[in-house]
Structure 1
Amino acid sequence: MSYRYITLDFDNHVATLKLNRPEVHNAFDDIMIGELLDAFQQIERHPACRVVVLASNGRNFSAGADLNWMRSMAEKNYAENIADAKQLAQLMERLDKLTKPTIALVQGAAFGGAVGLAACCDIVLAEERTSFCLSEVKIGLIPAVISPYVMRAMGTRQARRYMLSAERFGADAALTMGLVHEVVDNLDQAAADVVELLLGNSPAAVTAAKQLIADLDQQPIDATSQRLTVERIAEIRVSAEGQEGLSAFLEKRSANWKKDSQ
């Protein structure tokens, strides 16, 4: 499928997905959301893909929702707005639940829904001068669909401030809150370093670890969680990659997935 507002490339086990509307600061509308949904589906199905990089072309990561699109939705009825919001919710869920590790590279400005995209990724790298803003209340709206992911990433206490004030905050503040993992000078080099780390790990184990995190998040530490963790480690130990990883470690050699990524 050819895309109008995004690009998708696969190379050496890495899928690079870029927002590609720099003339409007990569603002997204229903067309871009549909394209992103299709791209995530392709990524999930790609047999060789092991890492996903989410980035954008131009000065800014994304200005959030396209204002012309928002204006058109304001003219539609409640049922039509429900359908539209469901598509954005599906986008956030699909990104959040991708079985492959995701890295967001954020530069310039990340406003509104763009903060949600970052919050749904496993690892977020940002340039020092990046600014974030949950700006919805300034125009009479709320960051509703992205709120579960943003609150999980930056914490409820911080979300209460920034979702209500709609003030900008920088990369260092985002780092302190946990929305960003690392503030870097060179996004491409930092991304390459993280990709190398991820490709050095067992693909099956990385996928299993992602699922484990999702299943345990916000759950009490009790007999149920204990049983789940016991079962998961037993499953991975007897799996093909679990056996290969342990053998490679004991034999002081590279595991076969490392050879595949070279």
Structure 2
Amino acid sequence: MTAGPVRVAYERGVTTLALDAPERRNALSAGLVGALADALAACGRDDAVRAVVLTHTGTAFCAGADLRDPPDPDALVALLRRIVELPKPVVARVLGHVRAGGLGLLGACDIAVAGPEATFAFTEVRIGVAPAVISLPLLPRLDPRAVARYYLTGERFGPAQAVRAGLVTEAGEDADAVLAPILDGLRRASPQGLAATKRLLTARVLETFDRDADGLTALSARLFSSDQAREGMTAFLERRDPAWVW
């Protein structure tokens, strides 16, 4: 079944939510953010759901913010927090490209597995902004040296580097083979045990949300309204280098 741009399936205690706007590379539009938040809320209410798998159709897990129909920054913060606070583990299954805001989704998940075709890049600096809001779930979890390199350069990196940085739990030639024992373990765990353990694991991340969400949301809005961001986004849409590139 589908819920707008999110495809929903259920099997043996696990609900799979697949981002399903491949023509837009599953970019974070206002509609997709709303649909995913609603689907996650439904999972949270359903006692039959032991865990959630977040995956995608098409060649991109998520291309970041949809520059033609961007979500409200507060809505994106709420979505990321919903993933972190959901009393059920959320496991990302990544078989394609992840860029910018899509990495926030990945960072909010409890576990992430990736296949060999997955690529990652924090491209914000290249359009004149910063990975502000998505830092809420990411910075508490990532290796500081690795995240400094990839935040500052915007360069693309692969699954092995993502594992070393702490962005991905495990990568393999067959992501579903990696995923299978993880889901088996979650199916064997009690709902109460999973919820309590997840609260332990996410406490520091939620402290970051409580402390920094307002400031980072304001920073994001300020940067996106700047002259450099307008040039960067225009250059991106026109498939050219922005004016500052040497």
**What is the TM-score of this pair, normalised by structure 2?**
0.79
Aligned counterparts of 1:218 and 1:7: Cα–Cα separation in 2 = 28
Give the root-mean-square deviation of aligned CA atoms.
1.9
Aligned length: 207
Deviation at 1:8, TM superposition (A): 1.6
* 1:9-33 CA distance string (max 9 Å, x none): 2222111100001112111200100
Aligned counterparts of 2:189 and 2:196: Cα–Cα separation in 1 = 12
Asked if 1:90 is matched to 2:82, the reply is: no
Aligned counterparts of 2:200 and 2:39: Cα–Cα separation in 1 = 25
Aligned counterparts of 1:115 and 1:198: Cα–Cα separation in 2 = 23
CA contact (8 A) 2:2 2:8 kept: no
1:253 paired residue number: none
CA contact (8 A) 1:64 1:111 kept: yes
2:101 paired residue number: 113
Letter in 2 for 1:156: P
1:122 to 93, 97, 110: 110
CA contact (8 A) 1:128 1:172 kept: no
CA contact (8 A) 2:171 2:178 kept: no
Alignment of 1:41-80 (within 5 A): 41-70=41-70
Aligned counterparts of 1:2 and 1:181: Cα–Cα separation in 2 = 28
**Structure 2 spans left out of the alignment, 5+ residues:** 208-246
2:7 paired residue number: 7
User: Which protein shows a greater Rg?
Assistant: 1
**Structure 1 spans left out of the alignment, 5+ residues:** 74-83, 220-262
1:189 paired residue number: 177
Letter in 1 for 2:58: G
CA contact (8 A) 2:170 2:178 kept: no
Alignment of 1:1-262 (within 5 A): 3-70=3-70, 84-215=72-203
Aligned counterparts of 1:60 and 1:217: Cα–Cα separation in 2 = 26
Deviation at 1:193, TM superposition (A): 2.2
* 1:184-210 CA distance string (max 9 Å, x none): 122223222211111112221111111
Q: Which deviates more from structure 2 when the two are superposed, residues 34-43 or residues 58-67?
A: 58-67
CA contact (8 A) 2:15 2:52 kept: yes
Where relative contact order (Cα < 8 A, 6+ residues apart) is larger, the structure is 2
Aligned counterparts of 2:182 and 2:112: Cα–Cα separation in 1 = 10
Aligned counterparts of 1:218 and 1:206: Cα–Cα separation in 2 = 17
Aligned counterparts of 1:163 and 1:96: Cα–Cα separation in 2 = 22
Aligned counterparts of 2:203 and 2:4: Cα–Cα separation in 1 = 36
Letter in 1 for 2:159: A
CA contact (8 A) 2:80 2:108 kept: yes
| Paired-residue identity, % | 36
* 1:155-212 CA distance string (max 9 Å, x none): 3332222111111111100111111111112222322221111111222111111112
CA contact (8 A) 2:147 2:165 kept: no
CA contact (8 A) 1:13 1:50 kept: yes
Letter in 2 for 1:32: L
Deviation at 1:143, TM superposition (A): 1.2
Aligned counterparts of 1:137 and 1:216: Cα–Cα separation in 2 = 26
Letter in 1 for 2:194: V
